[in-house]
Amino acid sequence: MTSTTFRIGGDLGVRRLGFGAMHLPTEPGPARANSLAVARRAVELGVTLIDTAHMYGGGANEELLAEALHPYPEEMLVTTKVGIARSSPEEEWRLDGRPAVLRDQVEQALRRLRVERIELLQLHRIDPGTPLADQLGTLRELRDEGKIGRIGLSEVTVDELDRARRIVDIASVQNRYNLLDREHEPVLTACEAAGIAFLPWRPVAWGKSGAEADIAAVAKSLDATPTQVALAWLLGHSPAVLPIPGTARIAHLEENLAADALRLAPEHRDLLDRLAVPGAPPVS
């Protein structure tokens, strides 16, 4: 039976099916009130892993989660990301892994999330303009100071992951990955072998119409939705996968979180496994 939990860094237990907060509106008014309700409903439904980032509103998303959930349940992990910055709201976001910027964004996240330590802090992107040793060295220093518990990466190759692991322990990787987009399968394989959590962003995305039809057919046979099928496939594909689907609607949230109770039959999984494999023969 597929495990519904994973220990990030070998010790931090979370429910594998989490929640991505990126899509939650943060501006004042009814939209913000709805966002607060969605975040609280996620916790009510048993979510223990919520993903945010400095880039999501320049910290506004972090503040929203703190307003909704602080004081956090003991088992709750709110992970955030740093390393993308802009000088003003009018400027474009850019990669910025300079030590002073990373340290400042971590300090801001601690304040906005109302915590003394971020249990999982991820580097949003590797900045090619700053030595990797300087970027990860800064995060290691923050970890040694007790402000970070574990360090993760996002959008990295196998080679970049290997290089990073020679500098500091890596607890998680957050790459784009879903049923129809498996470009980073080698990274997932490396994570699974090393016991590193793999958090696919954009965990549900549809491709060609033929693939959509196959997914819809599986969903119909299981009295489920295509989204639930895609998430169930992820959970069964590797024990290291921790999907973080995002939504701003409670109904969609509830649909997503029901996916970890969905069981795909072997013939369903065989069909789905072939969807993103060029030239794969049809299932007989």
Cα dihedral angle (277, 211, 16, 63), rounded to 10 degrees? 120
Does residue 253 form part of some domain?
A: no
Token look-up 């700053």 returns: 130
CATH of the domain at 137: 3.20.20.100
- Let me know if 56 is a catalytic residue: yes
Does residue 210 form part of some domain?
A: no
Domain that holds residue 49: 5-203+241-246
Token look-up 């060295």 returns: 137
pTM (2 d.p.) = 0.94
Does residue 272 form part of some domain?
A: no
Contact by Cβ (8 Å): 106, 87: no
Does residue 159 form part of some domain?
A: yes
Question: Which pLDDT score is estimated for 1?
Answer: 62
How many domains are there within the chain?
Answer: 1
Does residue 212 form part of some domain?
A: no
pLDDT digits (tens, 9 = 90+) for 96-136: 999 999 999 999 999 999 999 999 999 999 999 999 999 99
Catalytic residue among 6, 56, 177, 201: 56
Q: With 0-12 CB in 10 A as exposed, 13-18 as middle and 19+ as buried, what is 243?
A: buried
Does residue 232 form part of some domain?
A: no
Q: Is the peptide bond between 71 and the residue preceding it cis, with omega within 30 degrees of 0? A: yes
Does residue 277 form part of some domain?
A: no
Beta bridge partners of 178: 181
Does residue 273 form part of some domain?
A: no
pLDDT digits (tens, 9 = 90+) for 145-161: 999 999 999 999 999 99
Residue 207 pLDDT class (50, 70, 90 cuts) = low
- Which tokens go with 109? 């996240």
Residue 284 pLDDT class (50, 70, 90 cuts) = very low
Which pairing describes strands 49-51 and 19-20: parallel, antiparallel, or unpaired?
parallel
